[in-house]
Amino acid sequence: MSFSQQAKQWLIVSCFWLLGFGGIDNAVVRPIVESAPLGPEWTVFALAPPLEVQRTGQKIRMQLPEIKDWVRSGGPLILPDGSPIEIDVELLDQSGQRFTLAPITLGALIGFGLVAPEEGAGFFKNRRFTELRVRSSKPILAGKMDWYCWTGK
Domain extents in the chain? 25-150
pTM to 2 decimals? 0.81
pLDDT tens figures, 47-91? 999 999 989 899 999 999 999 998 876 778 999 999 999 999 999
Q: 1 vs 111, which has greater pLDDT? A: 111
What is the fold of 25-150?
Jelly Rolls (2.60.120)
Exposure letters 63-102 (e unless 16+ CB within 10 A, then b): bbeebeebeeeeebbbbeeeeebebbbbbbbeeeeeeebb
pLDDT tens figures, 101-111? 999 999 899 99
DSSP, residue by residue, 23-46: TTTT-EEEEEES-EEE-SSPEEEE
